[in-house]
Chain A
């Protein structure tokens, strides 16, 4: 008789109604899983591209062009001096000959173009690499420019600024798309709850008639939606992890970004999916039951 005396709280009733409608529960969990996996794939891409972009836009190399009268040995000692500056990780002298050879390599089959040039047009230079995350525009760059040996400091700043602007716009776009995806999950959850309520409308009406409060009726459905969403978030994370593992071949993309870095599951994603799922579940649960209860016998 203890089973009968047990309190049938909202969680108990939520689990009971999920077990009584296994078909609806599995449809709900699988559609939510797919929806959350899409959110997760999108989130993975946004987060990983953001990381890659941040690496590109910070800690970039500066090219310090030397005057023509600076000898290679002076250039090399300058490089040894600069490397001790704060915020500098690497400084290496690149002779005009080495620069030309590198250019040739980069041109590959088109290297013949350089043969028409006659004399080497490239200057001696020092390549300086800053600590990742440091923007040297206002510190290192002016200090380098003041050195007597230096003709010009070439930075990729203007170009990077544009990239950063583009990334900000993309970020907003990403937020908008993310919002739409979230809305989709909420609607999905709402409709599932509505269906669940519809399937037990007789019982709900009886509960209402014998004096159940609105919360007594509503909370199990909200919990049901929450449980389903959390389950779906877990499954979606697993699905994504497996999928990315299959796709993430160690291929190299332009700008030194590795494919496997873009196609790896950021640790935040399962957490965010659980959060998004929970929020969507609760919202969907409330919206789903609210509507039905208002349509019931109560004014």
Chain B
């Protein structure tokens, strides 16, 4: 599903690379944690997977697509198949909850009854149906996080990337979000979760964990 091959990422003006010679594969339907302290390169790695940034060297493959060679036209299509929960949510503040979630379908040409049904179903899943008309900037942090989850899930992506999905939440809300991700994984999706929180790993039982430190990979035994 996902393959990184000797990926190195340098940011201009930085002596140390954010990622150094990172190689790994993620099988379809796998649930994978990307763990490491703040600044280890987790966000940078995830960004490579949806083409928000590109490696300095090495190759990144998602599905059959080599992201380094993807044309400007094909990148949007890839992004529609990859659901992303951003560390900072990335909601449109002046739009209501419904439209924020619907956006993921609208950009792919979705509309009509099927769009409304799918958005409502997803909102029900994250327990936000009663807030459908509320502007995104009037929600609490936990609610915004769930809207971000709903938007990532509504298109039923084959690959779900979550960047610190519980980082801003109290333990209760954190567990709810992790449960949503686990449910989505159970329905056949590949899920990658980046977190600096060791507690989260303990919570998620037998999932595979990749440890990142200073941009280098140390796979768990």
Contact = CB atoms under 8 A, between A and B. Distances in A.
Contacts, number: 65
A7 B53 CA distance: 31
Contacts of A298: 51, 72, 75
Given A4-B98, A206-B92, A213 B113 contact: no
B174 interface: no
A205 B47 CA distance: 14
A209 B113 contact: no
A5 B115 contact: yes
B15 to A, nearest CB: 24
A87 B92 CA distance: 74
A211 B116 contact: no
A216 interface: yes
Contact of B107 (A1, A4, A211, A297): A211
A207 interface: yes
Interface string A195-213: 0000000110111111111
A212 B103 CA distance: 9
Given A5-B116, A7-B111, A214 B50 contact: no
A42 to B, nearest CB: 41
Given A211-B80, A211-B108, A1 B116 contact: yes
A209 B50 contact: yes
Given A6-B111, A20-B94, A202-B92, A213 B103 contact: no
A78 to B, nearest CB: 81
B112 interface: yes
Interface residues of A, number: 23
Contact of B151 (A20, A210, A212, A213): A210
B103 A206 contact: yes
A297 B53 contact: yes
A5 B113 contact: yes
B142 interface: no
A172 interface: no
A213 B112 contact: no
Nearest to A200: B92
Contacts of B151: 210
Interface string A174-204: 0000000000000000000000000000110
Nearest to A216: B107
A7 B105 CA distance: 11
8 nearest A-B pairs in the assembled complex, by CB-CB distance: A211-B79, A211-B80, A212-B107, A7-B111, A211-B76, A5-B116, A210-B104, A5-B112
16 contacts: A4-B98, A5-B112, A5-B116, A6-B111, A8-B111, A20-B94, A202-B92, A205-B90, A206-B92, A210-B79, A210-B107, A211-B76, A211-B78, A212-B76, A298-B51, A298-B72
Interface of B: 50-54, 72-73, 75-80, 84, 86, 90-94, 98-99, 102-104, 106-108, 111-113, 115-116, 119, 151
